[in-house]
Amino acid sequence: MGACAVALAQAAGYVGAGTVEFLLDDGEFFLMEMNTRLQVEHPVTEAVTGLDLVEWQLRVAQGEPLPLTQEQVVFSGHAIEVRLCAEDEHFTPHTGQVLRFHEPAGVRFDHALFEGLQVPAYYDAMLGKLVAHAATREEAIDQLAAALDHTEVLGLPTNRAFLAACLRHPRFRTGQALIPFLTEEGDAIREMLQKEELLALVPIGLAALFVHKNGSKPAAGVLPCPFPRPVRLRHRDVLTDVALSGVPAMPHGAVAVKVGVQEGRQRWHVQRGGVDLFVEDASFEAADAAGTLASHELHAPFNGKVLAVKAAPGMAVRKGDTLLIIESMKLEHSLAATRDATVKTVLVEPGQQAATLQLLLTFEPA
C-alpha cells in the first residue's frame, strides 16, 4: 500500500503532505481516495515515526528538500487516535459551554479547550484529539482508555465514555473492529453505558445535588432531621425516588457541575471514570408535573436550526406525526409526536436556532 501511494503521488506530480486511503478485504486492498492535505490523524504517523509532519509540510512548501529518505524513516510501536467530540452516544452534535476542563497525563492531546469556552453550532463537533503511543496495540488501547477516563469536559455532552467503551470492546482489542463495528455493536455499547449510569445515578447524582445546593463539598454525615428525606431524581426522563437518611459525600474521582436552569429545571453534569450522566432534581415538582411533564412538552434534543414547523396551535396530531424538522451538522432530523395529542402552543419558527433542551411546543393536557 505504501508503494502504491508513492506511485500514485508521483504519477500525479503531487508535492506536499497528502494521504492515500485504501480498503482492505481478506488480504486484498483497493484504492478509496487521496486527501491532498494534512490528515486529522497525522499525529498517529508522527507518534510512530518521531517526525513533525506539520514542519515538513511547511518546509516543502518553501521549496526545501525532505531531511530524510523513505529508507531512513523508522517506525516504532503502535499509536491510536480518537476524536473527542461534542456529541451524544447517538453521534448527534451538541453545543454549550465548557464549565470544567482537565486534561489527562501520559498522552498527546491536541485541543483548544478551556473552562468557559462556548462550543458553537457552526463548525465540526470535534473538541480535540487524544493520541496514545506504546510498544504494543494492547498497551496503546489501555493507555488511551485510561486517559479518556481522566479527561474532564463537563457542561455539555461528549463522546468520551463511548470512545472508552469502544476501545475496551473485545472485538476492538483483538483487531476485529471492521467497518460494520458500530452498526453491529453500537446498541449493545449504548445499553451497557446506560446501565453503568443507572448504577452511578444515586451515589453520584445525590452527592452532586448536595454539593451544589450547599455551595461546597459537605462531609458525609447525618441530616439535621431524624426522618428520611425524600429526593426525586430525573435521569433520561425517568424518575427515581430515594429516601435519604444522611448527607452523601462525593465518591472518589467524581466531579460535577451545574449546567444551569432550563425552564425551571435544575440540571447537573456528573462524571466519574467511564461514566457521564446528566441528572435533574425533581424533588419539588408537583407529582403530576413530575410524571407527565414529558408528555405535555416537546424539547429540542440537541442544538440545531429549525427548518420547518409542521404543527400549529389547535392541531390534533397522532403518535409518530412529524411536528418539526431540525438541521444539525448538515443532517435533517424529524421530531415526532410521542402520543396522540392536541398542540397547545408553538414557540419556534423556521430559520430559528434552537438550543439543547429548549422548549419547542406544548400539548393540551390529556
Kindly state whether residues 37 and 84 are assigned to the same domain. no
312: in domain:
yes
Q: Distance (Å, rounded) from C-alpha 65 to C-alpha 67? A: 6
Mean pLDDT estimate for the chain: 89
Q: 14 and 89 share a domain? A: no
- Does residue 222 sit in helix, strand or coil? strand
Contact status, residue 44 vs residue 19, Cβ threshold 8 Å: no
Mean pLDDT of 103-131: 93
Does residue 217 have a pLDDT over 60?
no
For residues 284 and 287, give the distance between their C-alpha atoms in angstroms, rounded to a whole number.
9
C-beta separation of 201 from 236 below 8 A: no
Does the pLDDT at position 156 exceed 90? Answer: yes
pLDDT in tens, 48-74: 999 999 999 999 999 999 889 888 999
Rounded percentage of the chain residues whose pLDDT exceeds 90: 62
Of 168-182, 242-256, 283-297, 326-340, the range with the highest mean pLDDT is: 168-182
Is residue 218 assigned to a domain? no
Inform me whether the pLDDT recorded for 174 exceeds 90.
yes
Does residue 155 lie within any of the structural domains?
A: yes
Residue 198 has pLDDT above 90, yes or no: yes
Domain range spanning residue 317?
293-366
Q: Give the count of domains, the chain.
A: 3
* Whether residue 308 is found in the same domain as residue 363: yes
Residue 135 lies in a domain: yes
pLDDT digits (tens, 9 = 90+) for 83-92: 999 998 888 8
The phi, psi pair for 337, rounded to 5°, reads -70, 135
Q: Are residues 67 and 51 in the same domain?
A: yes
Same-domain check for residues 71 and 151: no
What is the per-residue pLDDT for 363? Answer: 93
- For 118-132, 175-189, 250-264, which range has the lowest pLDDT when averaged over its residues? 250-264
Same domain, 173 and 95: yes
Q: What is the DSSP letter of 138?
A: H
Q: What whole-number distance in Å separates Cα of residue 98 and Cα of residue 113?
A: 8
Residue 333 domain-assigned (yes or no): yes
Pair 33, 46 in one domain: yes
Between CA 97 and CA 92 the distance in angstroms is 17
Domain assignment of residue 226, yes or no: no
Tell me the mean pLDDT in the region 155-170: 96
Report, as an integer, the average pLDDT of 248-269: 81
Whether 65 is in a domain gets the answer: yes
- CATH code of residue 324: 2.40.50.100
SS3 content of the chain, % helix, strand, coil (to 5): 30, 35, 40
* Residue 151 covered by a domain: yes
Residues 84 and 71 placed together within one structural domain of the fold:
no
C-alpha cell at 4: 502504491
Identify the band that residue 290 occupies on the pLDDT scale cut at 50, 70 and 90: very low
Domain boundary residue among 45, 75, 105? 75
Whether the predicted pLDDT of 154 surpasses 80? yes
In which residue are the cell numbers 465540526 written?
124
Return the pLDDT at 357: 79
Domain at 99, CATH number: 3.30.470.20
Q: Are residues 87 and 30 in the same domain?
A: no
Question: Is it the case that residue 121 has pLDDT exceeding 70?
Answer: yes
What length does the chain have?
Answer: 366
* Average pLDDT of span 33-47: 93
**Alpha-carbon gap, residue 44 to 107, rounded angstroms:** 12
Residues 171, 84 share a domain: yes
Residue 335 in this model has a pLDDT that exceeds 70: yes
* pLDDT tier at 214, thresholds 50, 70, 90: very low
Whether residue 85 is found in the same domain as residue 144: yes
Residue that terminates a domain, selected from 113, 143, 177: 177
**Which of residues 118, 153, 177 is at a domain's end?**
177
Residues 51 and 85 in one domain: no
pTM of the model: 0.84
How many beta carbons lie within 10 A of that of residue 349, not counting itself? 9
Type of residue at 193: L
Query: Which are the contacts of 228, defined by CB distance < 8 A and separation ≥ 6?
Result: 243, 244, 245
What local confidence, expressed as pLDDT, does residue 45 receive? Answer: 94
Task: Work out the pLDDT band at 262, boundaries 50, 70, 90.
Answer: low
